[in-house]
Each structure stands twice: as structure tokens, then as C-alpha cells.
């Protein structure tokens, strides 16, 4: 008989510690989309995955009590820790990484402000990370891209054949991520993108198939757009 290969232990780190500078001071993570807070929708995509074993949420100190309440209300049983973030995204992810279970083999880093991510996409990205060591959700760029000079004049049109928009989750073998993080700390560099962190350490990252609906909530206008996407997904057309 063939021995069934054991599934790797996967930890998800949900980063929800932004300063809301583009949300007119509103904490976007706690806003509702279809009756469910943004960050909870993000968490639930991982909660519902059979390939994710635990979730660590990184947020602002003042948001921890309310987020604790919401996690209980929506039965997010895989959430093991809710911790305070750092002064930058990289530092916040590091805070989450410090809390993962010792059995963790792969870590999935996801923006708490991407509430529309699909569990199937998360699972596919995990599979690709296991195969390639590192993977992220991404979609092909559809718009025509222009490169400009210092005077804001078009210099050239950039071919979009090999251009992709990066999304999250971004998923890595934990040893690789820790080595890349230590290298960044040693160099004093601070990246806003986790793939950029591991790329700087010499690791190639696989582009896993994303979805255009996996938008990031950045401004107040994104909330009604997300609600429209949700209505379309659930078949509740007006």
C-alpha cells in the first residue's frame, strides 16, 4: 500500500494594523460588508480552508478588544492569537511570525483589507507554495501601462504581456521566510511586500491564479464596490 503524504502545517498571518490614512480616519478593518466586518471576512476565508491549521491576527493595540469580540461572535475558532503590530507592514508581519506554532511548515501572509479572497484561491496558492517554496495570488494586468518622465509626459508604452498585479495571500516555506526576514533586518531594509522580501534573498516566487474580485479596501469608495461584488457572488442581483 502507498503511504499517504502528510499535509504540511500551515499558519495564516492576517495583517490588519494599517493607519487608515486613506480611509478618512476610519478603521477599515472593522467596517461591515454585507453584515460582516472586513477583517472577519478575510479571516473566514482561511477559517474555512481545510489546509489552514491556525490563524494569527496582527492589528492595532486599540483594536484588539473589539476584534477579540468579533472573532468570538463569528466563531473564528482557528484564531490562536491577536497581537499588536509594528510601525511598518514588515514589522507587523514579523510580530505575527513570532507567534506561529512550532509545527508550522508554511506561512500564508494576507492583508486583512482583502475581504473578498476566495477559500479555493487560498487552497490553490498553498498547493503552489508547497510545490515551489513560495507563491502569491496575482492577476494579469488588463490596462495599458504608460511610463512617464519627470514632467509627467509619456515616455513609452510598457508591454503588459508579462505584467501581473500582486494580491495576497503570499505563502512561503517558513524557514525561507525567516531567513529572508533576518537578511532584511541585517541589511536594515523594510519592504512593503512579502514577496519582495524573499526575492531579495534570491528566492523565485510562483504566480498563483488570483481573481479580480480579490480587491483591497483602501478608500471609502471601495466599500460599496465590495458590497456589489458580494451581491453578485451570492446571486443577489438588484
CA-based nearest residue to 215, from 115, 120, 139, 123: 115
State the pLDDT confidence band at 31, using cuts at 50, 70 and 90: confident
Q: Distance between CA atoms of 121 and 117, rounded to whole angstroms?
A: 7
Q: Using one digit for the tens of pLDDT, what is the confidence trace for 118-172?
A: 999 999 999 999 999 999 999 999 999 999 999 999 999 999 889 999 999 999 9
Q: To 5 degrees, how large is the angle CA 143–CA 148–CA 149?
A: 175
Supply 106's cell numbers: 508554511
- Asked if pLDDT for residue 186 goes beyond 50, the answer is yes
Confidence of residue 17 (pLDDT cuts 50, 70, 90): confident
Q: What is the pLDDT of residue 238?
A: 42
Q: What is the number of other CB atoms lying within 10 angstroms of the CB of residue 185?
A: 13
Residue 132, pLDDT score: 98
At 233 the pLDDT is 86
Does the predicted model carry a pTM greater than 0.85? yes
By 3-state DSSP, what share of the chain in percent is helix, strand and coil, each rounded to 5? 35, 25, 40
For the chain, percent of residues with pLDDT exceeding 90: 83
Which of 177, 216, 232, 223 shows the shortest CA–CA distance to 200? 177
**Burial class of residue 193 (count of CB atoms within 10 Å of its CB; 0-12, 13-18, 19+):** middle
Distance in angstroms (rounded) separating the CA atoms of residues 106 and 172: 5
At residue 1 the predicted structure's pLDDT band, cuts being 50, 70 and 90, is very low
Cell triple for 57: 491576527
Domains, the chain, ranges and CATH?
Answer: 10-137+165-233 (3.90.550.10)
Question: Between residues 9 and 31, which one has the greater pLDDT?
Answer: 9
Percentage of the chain beyond pLDDT 70 is: 92
What are the pLDDT digits (tens) for 207-225?
999 999 999 998 888 989 9
Say what the alpha-carbon torsion angle 103, 174, 179, 162 is, to the nearest 10 degrees: 180
158 contacts 141 by C-beta, under 8 angstroms:
no
Q: What is the largest CA-CA distance in the chain?
A: 69
Amino acid at each position: 500500500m502507498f503511504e499517504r503524504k502528510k499535509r504540511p502545517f500551515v499558519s495564516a498571518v492576517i495583517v490588519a494594523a494599517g493607519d487608515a490614512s486613506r480611509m478618512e480616519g476610519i478603521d477599515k478593518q472593522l467596517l461591515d460588508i454585507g453584515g460582516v466586518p472586513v477583517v472577519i471576512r478575510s479571516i473566514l476565508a482561511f477559517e474555512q480552508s481545510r489546509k489552514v491549521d491556525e490563524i494569527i491576527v496582527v492589528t492595532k493595540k486599540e483594536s484588539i478588544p473589539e476584534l477579540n469580540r468579533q472573532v468570538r461572535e463569528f466563531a473564528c475558532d482557528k484564531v490562536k492569537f491577536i497581537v499588536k503590530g509594528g510601525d511598518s507592514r514588515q514589522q507587523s508581519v514579523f510580530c505575527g511570525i513570532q507567534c506561529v506554532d512550532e509545527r508550522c511548515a508554511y506561512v500564508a501572509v494576507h492583508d486583512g483589507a482583502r475581504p473578498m479572497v476566495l477559500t479555493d484561491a487560498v487552497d490553490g496558492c498553498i498547493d503552489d507554495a508547497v510545490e515551489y517554496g513560495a507563491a502569491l495570488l496575482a492577476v494579469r494586468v488588463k490596462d495599458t501601462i504608460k511610463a512617464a518622465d519627470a514632467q509627467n509626459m509619456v515616455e513609452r508604452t510598457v508591454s503588459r504581456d508579462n505584467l501581473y498585479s500582486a494580491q495576497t495571500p503570499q505563502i512561503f516555506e517558513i524557514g525561507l521566510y525567516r531567513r529572508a526576514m533576518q537578511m532584511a533586518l541585517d541589511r536594515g531594509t523594510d519592504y512593503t511586500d512579502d514577496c519582495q522580501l524573499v526575492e531579495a534573498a534570491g528566492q523565485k516566487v510562483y504566480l498563483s491564479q488570483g481573481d479580480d474580485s480579490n480587491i483591497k479596501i483602501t478608500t471609502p469608495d471601495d466599500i460599496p464596490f465590495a458590497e456589489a461584488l458580494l451581491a453578485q457572488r451570492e446571486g443577489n442581483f438588484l
